Amino acid sequence: MAEPEFKATGVRIGRRLRSLTRAGQVRISDGRLELLTSYGTEIDSAPVQAVRATRPWFAPDGRALADLNGNRYLLTLGDHDPAPGQPGPPAARRFIEAVRRAAGRGA
């Protein structure tokens, strides 16, 4: 398996008002977006061309919406990128740019 194009850990993943995991993983690899629990169990995945990633207008920085397979997920990533070598999720802006880049829609 190739190195992931984007990987974030410690991501809160929710659907509607329900939290699915507080320390999940988001990964873009081989043209697929995967949402995983903290244990690595798949919550959902889809080809990046079928994924819509946006920033919600009603939420603070660090949150992104991802629509895949007819489900809308609220992802809470970091408010800002962590320092090099430091743990923590990257900013939501980087996630949205990575989805667009992987889908060939530009940044």
* Tens digits of residue pLDDT in 32-45: 999 999 999 999 99
Query: Helices in 36-91 by DSSP H: which ranges?
Result: none
**pLDDT, tens digit, 9 for 90 and up, residues 6-42:** 999 899 999 988 999 999 999 999 999 999 999 999 9
Judged against a pLDDT cut of 70, whether residue 2 lies above it is answered with no
- SS3 (DSSP) at 68: strand
Q: What is the pLDDT of residue 59?
A: 73
Tokens of 87: 């743990």
* Residue 106 or 99, more confident: 99
pLDDT band at 91 (very low <50, low <70, confident <90, very high): confident
Alpha-carbon span 100 to 107, nearest angstrom: 6
**pLDDT, tens digit, 9 for 90 and up, residues 39-85:** 999 999 999 999 999 998 887 778 999 999 999 999 998 766 677 77
* Residue 92 or 36, more confident: 36
Q: Are 24 and 35 in contact (CB under 8 A)?
A: yes
